[in-house]
Structure 1
Amino acid sequence: MGAWLAALCAVEREAVADDSELFAMYGPLAAEHSAAAADHVADLHDTEDQQRGSASSGKKNRIVGQRWIRCGG
């Protein structure tokens, strides 16, 4: 895992060096739209809560990690 993370960081550093103007715009853009991202994450949590409710209501469902999987029909 450490080697993979180091390789990923190296690729990211290279990408930033190759297109520094693009990455310079990323910070302000992310800050400008952080509310939309927060809303999206909240929606994901709401969906997960709904799925957990379905799983506990006797349906054949299970939560695997952060992913909901319907088992059977």
Structure 2
Amino acid sequence: METLKSAESNPAWVEGWLVLRVKQALPGDLVSMHAHAEEAQADAHQRGRGHQVFHGKRRVGTDEFIVD
């Protein structure tokens, strides 16, 4: 697994592919974050129904995230 890259606009955030557990509406619950879309898709598929992949950013050391 590759290291996530820092967001250009703010180094306190990292950019990558978010796996979210979506209930009825976004944003949902952050489950994991990946450097590559393929890894995120495989993770979402393994976790099953209700898990979707989005590109976004996460504040380092927190569960705070933004979907692009």
TM-score (norm. length: structure 1)? 0.20
Give the structure with the larger helix fraction: 1
Q: Tell which structure's C-alpha radius of gyration is larger.
A: 1
Q: What TM-score comes out, normalization by structure 2 length?
A: 0.21
Q: Which structure is richer in relative contact order (CA contacts within 8 A, separation 6 or more)?
A: 2
Q: Which structure's residues are more often strand, by fraction?
A: 2
